[in-house]
Chain A
Amino acid sequence: MAHDHDDHHHDNELDPMAARVRALETILTQKGLVDPAAIDAIVETYETKVGPHIGAKVVAKAWSDPQFADWLKRDATAAIASLGISGRQGEHMQAVFNTADTHNLVVCTLCSCYPWSVLGLPPVWYKSPPYRSRAVIDPRGVLAEFDLVLPETTNIRVWDSTAELRYLVIPLRPDGTDALSEAQLAKLVTRDAMIGTGIALAPEAA
C-alpha cells in the first residue's frame, strides 16, 4: 500500500523531471516534430542491441588475430566496421593498447564523449564531475576507487576526448588464456577494462 503509493509517485507527473519530459514529448508530438515510435526504437537500440558486449568482441578478436590487432592500431574505424559495427558516437574510432609498461585511461573532461557504438551508453559516473575533474590530474587515485592499484613504475596515459575521436582501450590479455576461444575471451572483457578503469578478468571468471 505504502509501497504501491511510492511506485506510483515515482512514475507519474508528481516527479518533476518525469512531468517535464512528458510535457516536452507531448508538445513535440502534437506538432509532428517527433514520432513517439521513433523514440521507442532509439531506446530499444540502446537497451537491447548496443552495449559493451560489442567492444568485448573487438578486443577478443584483437587478442586472437595479430593482423586484426595491427589494423585496429592503424585504422580502428575501418577494422571495427569490418566486423559489421558502426554507429553514432563511434564514427571516428581510435584503439589504444595497454602494454606491460603503460596503462591507458579515457575521459571526456568537457562533456560525456564515449564510444557508444562499441560500449553503449556511458555509466552515470563517467558523465559526472568527480570522474571528469579527477581523471586528468589524479588518475591513480581514480583507479584506486575502482580497486585497480597499478605499480608506481607503470606509466599512465590519459586520453581526454576533446574532439570527435572516440577511444577504446584494448586491455592486456590475461595470462592462462591461450586455450580460450574468441567467445570465451570476450567474456573476460569488461566495460571498465575498455574505458581503462579496470583490467580484463582472470580466466577463472569465463
Chain B
Amino acid sequence: MNGPQDLGGQMGFGPIAPEKDEPIFHAGWEKRALGLTIAAGAMGHWNIDESRHTRESLHPADYYSSTYYEIWIKGLERLLQRHGFVTAQELKEGHSISKGTDPKRTLKAENVAAALAKGGPCDRPVAGAPRFKAGDRVRTHNFNPETHTRLPRYARGKRGIVDAVREGFVFPDSNAHGKGENPQYLYTIVFSAPELWGDGADPKLTVSIDAWESYLEPA
C-alpha cells in the first residue's frame, strides 16, 4: 500500500540529527514494548509481514508523529484485537475482562535465548529454476496495490540490472494477508540514480532493492 511507511525519496522531514552516545532505550516503557512485541509474536498467530502491514496501516498523521516503539505498540494492540486476544474495552480499562483466543504457544523465560538465537528464517524452497540471472536487464512492475507490498514506490516501473539471484523467500504481499507463503525467488536489483530520480541525479550513485520475482519483467 502507498502508506506512510514508504519513505524513499520523500522530502521535508528535516535533518537526521544522530544522537551522540545514544542509549539503547530512551524510556523504561520502550524495553517493555520491545519485549511485548517479541513475546506476543512468539505465540505464532501472525507473521512479520502482517505485523509490518499493521504498522503501515496506521493513519499517516499518527505514523509520522509516533516514535518507532510507539508505532510498534499501536500495531501490537491492533494485532491482538484482530486475533481475538484482547478487546478495546480491556485496553481502555487496563486489565483482563474475559478470556480470549487460546494461544498456540507462549514464550517462557527459559526459552528466550534459544528463540532469539534461532530467529525466524524466511527462506523456502521454490520449484523450478529462477527466471532471471545476474546481469539481466529487468523492469520493475508498476502497480499501486491497496494491500501489503515490499516494492517501494520510488522503484516501481524502473529499469534495473539483476545484481544477484538469491534463494526462494516467503512472498510478503500474500503472507501479510493470510494468503500463504507462496515463496518466490528473490533478486537484488540495482538501479542508476538517473533512472530513479531523473534530472540532476548523482551519476556516481546506484541504489539496490531486494525484489521478488513477480515484481520483475524482462526489459
Contacts and interface: CB of A to CB of B under 8 A. Distances in A.
Contacts, number: 270
A18 B152 CA distance: 33
Nearest to B27: A18
A90 B120 CA distance: 9
Nearest to B154: A136
A204 interface: no
A82 to B, nearest CB: 15
A164 B202 CA distance: 28
Interface stretch (A57-65, A124-132, A169-177, A180-188): A124-132
A121 B67 CA distance: 15
Contact of A160 (B26, B64, B152, B202): B152
Interface string B3-16: 00111111101111
**How would you classify the secondary structure of chain B's contact residues: helix, strand, loop or mixed?**
mixed
Interface residues of A, number: 81
Contact of A109 (B8, B18, B188): B8
B188 to A, nearest CB: 8
B6 to A, nearest CB: 6
Given A22-B29, A42-B112, A91-B119, A145 B15 contact: yes
Contacts of A135: 8
Contacts of B38: 42, 88
Interface string A77-93: 00000000011111110
A163 B169 contact: yes
A38 B94 CA distance: 21
Contacts of B123: 91-92, 164
Interface string A11-48: 10001011111111111101111110111111101110
Nearest to A109: B8
Contact of A17 (B73, B99, B208, B210): B73
A162 B207 CA distance: 12
A160 B35 contact: no
Contacts of A192: 18
B8 A129 contact: no
A82 B91 CA distance: 45
A10 B27 contact: yes
Interface in B73-125: 73, 76-77, 80, 85-86, 90-91, 94-96, 99-100, 103, 106-109, 111-113, 115-123
B39 interface: yes
A163 B29 contact: no
Contacts of A145: 15-18
Nearest to A11: B28
Contact of A43 (B7, B35, B96): B35
A110 B5 contact: yes
A93 to B, nearest CB: 11
5 contacts: A21-B33, A91-B121, A124-B67, A160-B152, A162-B152
Interface of A: 10-11, 15, 17-28, 30-35, 37-43, 45-47, 51, 86-92, 109-112, 117, 120-121, 123-125, 127-137, 139-140, 142, 145-146, 152-165, 192, 197
Given A21-B33, A128-B13, A163-B150, 4 more contacts: A110-B152, A127-B68, A162-B152, A162-B209
- Pick the 3 closest A-B CB pairs, nearest first: A39-B35, A109-B8, A163-B210
